[in-house]
Amino acid sequence: MPTRCGLVALVGRPNVGKSTLLNHLIGQKVSITSRKPQTTRQRLLGIKTIDRDQIVFVDTPGYHRGYDKAINHYMARTISGVLADVDVIVFVIDRLHFLEEDLALLTEVRKARVPILLVINKIDELPDREAILPFIAALGEDAASFADIVPVSALKEQFTAELERCIVRHLPQNPWYFPEDQLTDKSARYLAAEYVREKITRQMGDELPYEVAVAIEEYQVEGNLHRVGAVIYVEKESQKRMLIGENGSRLKLIGSEARKDMERLFDCKVMLRLWVKVKRGWSDDERALKSLGYD
């Protein structure tokens, strides 16, 4: 029997739940999440193999307009590059909100000329699910852009199996791109850095802007022990002090939570050490971005 395999892009505005959806679909946390916009910065593959079918999900940064830093241009280029290569697009929106940015993204997505599935996420937060049908009707001609429309709750894993079946129906016949047991294309070093950045984003809330990057400077495997050394880059001395906290308390908490996630994913003991350094203006410097892996 022939096998099906294809690249499936997850696109949408920031904070609509793309990364949460990816993690629940593949059954493992490979993409970091938080309530803050722009948590996802780079393209990441999440791989799910079911029977003879393999779905290669491509998580993308949130689509946004009106930001002019180099890192925002990098994220916009990432989305455009992904759309040029995929076989199916999963267009995720937040409940019944279809905003101007959603419409602008849909205009870009249509250019790919591949099946587009509309996912209405976070339906568990809707006071009345019967409002979904009038909402779809109100989309008018835009609704015709979608091959399927699937309401889901990624967080509660409601109707995600139905979404998976819809995706599989649109996959082309291809050999698998990855081994059956592979979950992502990213290295352990990359995932370790992302886990640290997630905990920073969650811990700091609105206290620290988005000028935070994490680089792994040490990664050694000694039997069942992984030794990880990570440098956290900020843009100001005041941000460094905030991140470290009184007597290093905040940095210790970030490290403890990130280490636990790493141990769950890597199934081993992890010894994690963190440092904080100031790298002024890195988020608006193309050369600095490349040196930190945004290339």
Domains of the chain, start order: 4-169 (3.40.50.300), 188-291 (3.30.300.20)
- Contact between 89 and 112 under an 8 Å Cβ cutoff? The reply is yes
What are 176-186's pLDDT values in tens digits? Answer: 999 999 999 88
- Please check the confidence at residue 5 and state whether its pLDDT lies above 60: yes
281 confidence band (pLDDT: 50, 70, 90):
confident
Which stretch of 51-55, 162-166, 184-188 has the lowest confidence by average pLDDT? 184-188
- What are phi and psi for residue 225, nearest 5 degrees? -115, 130
Q: Cα separation of 153 and 129, whole Å?
A: 12
Residue 38 gets which letter from DSSP? T
> So what's the pLDDT on residue 124?
95
Q: What is the pLDDT of residue 168?
A: 96
72 phi/psi in degrees, rounded to 5? -70, -40
Q: What is the pLDDT of residue 28?
A: 86
Mean pLDDT of 18-26: 91
Instruction: Please report, for residues 32, 42, 49, 74, 235, the alpha-carbon distance to residue 289 in angstroms, rounded to integers and kept in the order given.
Output: 20, 12, 34, 9, 13
In the chain the beta strands, taken as DSSP E runs, fall at 4-11, 44-50, 53-59, 88-94, 116-121, 148-151, 213-222, 225-234, 269-278
Strand 88-94 with 53-59, pairing: unpaired
Length of the chain: 295
pLDDT over 60 at 64, yes or no: no
State the Cα angle at 231 between 264 and 225, rounded to 5°: 35
Q: Which residues pair with 236 in a beta bridge?
A: none
Angle between helices 249-266 and 237-244 (to 10 degrees): 70
Q: Tell me, what's the pLDDT at 294?
A: 56
Residue 154: which pLDDT band, with cuts at 50, 70 and 90?
very high
What's residue 292's pLDDT? 55
pLDDT digits 0-9 by tens, 165-223: 999 999 999 999 999 999 998 889 989 998 998 899 888 876 665 678 899 999 999 99
Cα–Cα separations (whole angstroms), residue 227 to 212, 237, 255, 265: 22, 28, 13, 15
Place 76 in a pLDDT band, splitting at 50, 70 and 90.
Answer: low
**Identity at 151, one-letter amino acid code:** P
Give the Cα separation of 227 and 270 in Å (integer): 6
Q: In the structure, what pLDDT confidence band is assigned to residue 11 with cuts at 50, 70 and 90?
A: very high
- Distance in angstroms (rounded) separating the CA atoms of residues 85 and 150: 23
Among candidate residues 130, 162, 167, the one with its CA nearest the CA of residue 147: 167
CB-based contact 195:32 (threshold 8 Å): yes
- Give 242 or 69, the one with higher predicted confidence: 242
Looking at the DSSP bridge assignments, the partners of residue 278 are 234
Q: What is the pTM of this model?
A: 0.81
Q: What is the pLDDT of residues 77-114, one digit of tens each?
A: 666 677 878 999 999 999 999 999 899 889 888 988 99
